[in-house]
Amino acid sequence: MIQSNMFKYLGILLEGRERFEEEALSRLDQTIPEDEAAQKDENKANGPDSCIYSINARLKKFSDWLLDIIAMGDLDAFFPAATREYAPFVDEMWKDPAIQATYKRKDELHFLPDVAEYFLSRAIEVSSNEYEPSEKDVIFAEGVTQGNGLSFIEFTLDDRSPMSEPYIDNPEAHSQPLTKFQLIRVSAKGMNDGCKWVEMFEDVRMVIFCVALSDYDLVGTPVNGNLQNKMMQSKELFEATIRQPCFCDTPFVLVLNKYDLFEEKISRAPLTACEWFGDFSPVRTQSNNQTLAQQAYYYVAMKFKEAYNDHTGRKLFVWQARGRDRQTVDEAFK
Ligand SMILES: Nc1nc2c(ncn2[C@@H]2O[C@H](COP(=O)(O)OP(=O)(O)OP(=O)(O)O)[C@@H](O)[C@H]2O)c(=O)[nH]1
Ligand SMILES: [Mg+2]
């Protein structure tokens, strides 16, 4: 998955490079005075024009090949099988000044995830036959949770609060067994498929619904050909889940994840980009020390709480997390 994704990221960069090169060259054309342009036309045989986004002929050949494969939807037929063979190209490409210049404009490459650099900059290591993803690599990898299947993990958590347990006075408190938890992961895709098997979960003690806060201005994968905002997709799934008759007595916890990305983008992309959040109006007063991100977070939490309360008459527990930061996830579980 990590190896195939690396070629997907490279493809997005190469497509961006082509676009930026075209734009830059056409701008150059327009700025060249007429007499020079006439001379340039005569000299065309001397080779193509170039700019900072241009790559050498060998890399261009590889780029054309990869982009063709991606356009045909054949990436999976080649990768990860051919990863090792093409790793030197990926490495060379990533280090090429044209790709680095393209990467500098990553904000304009909407489909390029922030992990692209993390993996592309280690192309040789990641492509080796001996490559064993570290825990961090797995946390950073995309698509690990995309299957429709269910998966689960069992864990214990020291959920005894140091405030309520007299730790020092009562050393026996330590020897009490910790509560065991079983976390079952249900992907959004699985939930969308009619939810027939959701009744299997009738006896779960709690539903943890996870939403990426940073989805508010993103477009999701089209459902029945319709493009839809990712936060709206989450809202619909949330509403469909809380309406499941088998969850009528089950408490819900909402984890609002990707707070770091949310914080980073909220000042450049307004929260109102999502139609559900159309009436968000941050307050800026001297007595209000909350940052824009904090205010936006509380507003989003409130929207979900309202939706939950309207339907169930109960209170929704909301927590904020940054999935790459273990501590915030542990706190959410506690
Ligand atoms: N910055 C940041 N990244 C996160 C956080 N939680 C998970 N990720 C990253 O999100 C990616 C998970 O990717 P995907 O498998 O595409 O899942 P997703 O992005 O949650 O969901 P999709 O909308 O289906 O793409 C990995 O790169 C994770 O490291 C977070 O709180 N902050
Ligand atoms: Mg993703």
User: In this structure, what token pair is assigned to residue 297?
Assistant: 């977070």
Domain assignment present for 39: no
- What pLDDT sits at residue 41? 54
| Residue 134 Cα to ligand 1 middle (Å) | 17
215 shares a domain with 127: no
Q: What percent of the chain has pLDDT over 90?
A: 62
Decide which of 122 and 160 is more confident: 122
pLDDT tens figures, 287-301:
777 899 999 999 999
pLDDT tens figures, 22-40:
999 988 877 766 666 556 5
Nearest CA to ligand 1 atom 14: 142
Do residues 216 and 181 touch, judged by C-beta distance below 8 A?
A: no
194 shares a domain with 60: no
71 shares a domain with 9: yes
Q: What is the β-pairing status of strands 151-157 and 317-320?
A: unpaired
Q: What is the average per-residue pLDDT within 61-71?
A: 96
Q: What is the spatial distance between Cα 318 and Cα 256, in angstroms, rounded to a whole number?
A: 7
Provide the domain limits for residue 18. 1-30+54-140
pTM: 0.84
Q: What is the average per-residue pLDDT within 175-181?
A: 79
5 is in an annotated binding site: no
Confidence band of 174 (pLDDT split at 50, 70, 90): low
Looking at the structure of the chain, the number of domains it has is 2
124 shares a domain with 155: no
Q: What percent of the chain has pLDDT over 70?
A: 85
> Is it the case that residue 9 has pLDDT exceeding 60?
yes
207 shares a domain with 306: yes
- Ligand 1 atom closest to Cα of 321? 31
